[in-house]
Amino acid sequence: MAIPKTLFCGGAMLASAMLLAACSTTGPQSVTLGANPAAACAALVAPVAPAAVGLPSGAATIDSATLMPASALAVAERGPSPASRITPPTPAHCKVLGRIAPLDASAPPILFQVNLPLAWNGRSVQYGGGGFNGVLITGLSLVPAGRFDQPTPLAQGYVTYGTDSGHQNVAGQPPQAFALNDEALVNFAHASYKKVRDVAVALMQRAYGQAPQKLYFVGSSEGGREALTMAQRYPQDFDGIFSRVPVINWTGLQHAGARNGIATFGEGWLRPAQVQLVHDAVLASCDAADGAADRIVSNPVACLQRFDPASLRCAAGTSGDNCLNDAQVQAVRTLRSPWRSPVPLANAVAVYPGWGIGGEGTPAFASMGGWNAWWTGTAAPTVPPQPSNGIAWFYGSGALQYFYARNPSLDVRNYRAEDFAARIATVSQLMDSTNPDLGAFQARGGKLLMLEHMADYAQSPFAGILYYESVVARMGRDNTDRFMRLYTAPGVDHVGSGAPANVDMLAALADWVERGRAPAGLHLAEQEVQPPFRIVRSRPLCEWPLWPRYTGGDVSQAASFQCSR
């Protein structure tokens, strides 16, 4: 049943004036769950038949469908990212939990959650996962890069949903262990997101009497890879896609991450004080090059040429935290060097690019931070990895064991890619979202936004940049500009700390999809993680290859910078 837009947009659920996506006069019209939402929600428990799914699939069983009351904002003291500390306010909604049965009885089911608002704006958002997944993505959190003071998509009237990607983490087992099952690996690679998308569409049709008029996918890290996978493998399924810091060249990343970890064994490991030494030396070389000494390397490409880790080499006969030995200098150079695959990878990709520069000493906590979080850890690397080791060593070594060698007891220091060429080719075809042919996605009117963080040490931002440039080479600059944008955020780590990182990309994406207005004038905000989420500083969000140059005025304000070459 349609409801007057003036009533819907004036309600408490949509108090923010920035909710153009929900209150557009040209977008999809609003419908409700009906006069008795609790009954309508409870009626959704019937299974969804395999015929509703566009891939070979078991049936989707609905475990529960419950009308949830509204909940209030909560902020935790600590978290693995700034955004993860925030549990945003949630309106009353119908929460549907279910599972999609596997075809292989030995494979796990695909778990999913679908959140249906009482007043629906005709749109939906699928959330991507993170890491190796294995936990249910609820679709209730802030979207990647979202500002802390803006309503979630569900609060704006979107249906939201997510999945565990077809496996559940098991206590005492490495998170990569699921990959020993072929169906679980295919689900993780791509199939689970497609299957859950189709089941969610069937539930929307059942709940509201109509299919969604606009579908969006948003994801960060592994979820960013999933986002690009949707554009490449299932180009008809989404109108708009936002991919932040995608682990796009997945095979290259895991091999390069293991390589980088091996480089820090023995004398190559950098102690936390030496990480800070490098961080300070990079800032001394590059911070003010943009015109403002603000502890952000705004032009990391130029800084890579300007800063040589050998400048910190210990004098003969000396050692300590105030210099680097030869093995440590070589370790830094290894990190910044490409990994060249000795075997063919999907889509003719031959290398994984080296990492960037800046943010080495960004404080670490869980997945947040620079080298101490992702590369060096806070203790020398071990076999098997320990929690104090860098996350990339833990991820990369485990991936080589379970995805490629399929040998959990393999000592990764003895791994040779040439010995597993056939398996690498198989996994690369499954996992690497590097296909530059986005013609089908463009032809259906799809729009794609990408965002790379230039101080990201979980994955190289240059991997996403190389992918974007491969799309341009394949489809042409003018053609690519009609449906795709790549932005870069200097000084920001993998999860959004270290520098201004927050921007409402979903609203920009919806505006482009639904009104034909390409993004322009976007700003990044760094916010306090406490209400009212005050903006501490801001920067313009520049399209690659531009970067923010200081032009004068308050260095905390985006207006004082201009995107430049």
Q: Which residues contact 177 (CB under 8 A, 6 or more apart)?
A: 170, 402, 408
Contact 96, 44 (CB under 8 A): yes
In angstroms, the CA 432 to CA 209 distance is 37
In angstroms, the CA 466 to CA 520 distance is 23
**CA-based nearest residue to 257, from 401, 368, 134, 362:** 401
The CA distances from residue 139 to 8, 88, 95, 159, in Å, are 22, 11, 10, 9
**Active-site residue, from 164, 397, 494, 497:** 494
**How far from chain centre, in Å, is Cα 484?**
17
Contact 312, 323 (CB under 8 A): yes
Collapsed DSSP state (helix, strand, coil) of residue 301: helix
Collapsed DSSP state (helix, strand, coil) of residue 334: helix
**Active-site residue, from 30, 57, 124, 221:** 221
In angstroms, the CA 162 to CA 165 distance is 9
Burial class (CB in 10 A: 0-12, 13-18, 19+), 159: buried
Angle value at C-alpha 364, between 363 and 367, nearest 5 degrees: 135
Classify each residue of 91-119 as buried b or exposed e, where b means 16 or more C-beta atoms within 10 Å of its C-beta: bbbbbbbbbbebeeeebbbbbbbbbbbbb
* Number of residues that make up the chain: 565
494 included as an active-site residue = yes
556 included as an active-site residue = no
For tokens 């240059």, the residue is 462
Phi, psi of 301 (to 5 degrees): -65, -45
The CA distances from residue 126 to 35, 154, 278, 347, in Å, are 27, 11, 40, 26
**CA-based nearest residue to 403, from 427, 382, 383, 425:** 427
Contact 157, 119 (CB under 8 A): yes
CB pairs under 8 A, 24+ apart, for 14-18? 14/151, 14/155, 14/156, 14/157, 16/150, 16/151, 18/150, 18/504, 18/507
221 included as an active-site residue = yes
Q: Can the peptide bond before residue 384 be classed as cis, meaning omega within 30 degrees of 0? A: yes
In angstroms, the CA 420 to CA 435 distance is 23
Q: Can the peptide bond before residue 532 be classed as cis, meaning omega within 30 degrees of 0? A: yes
**Active-site residue, from 198, 237, 239, 456:** 456
The total of other beta-carbon atoms located within 10 Å of residue 164's CB is 24
Taking each continuous run of H as one helix and of E as one strand, the counts in the chain are 17, 20
Collapsed DSSP state (helix, strand, coil) of residue 254: helix
Pairing of β 214-220 and β 240-244: parallel
Query: Catalytic residues, which ones?
Result: 221, 456, 494
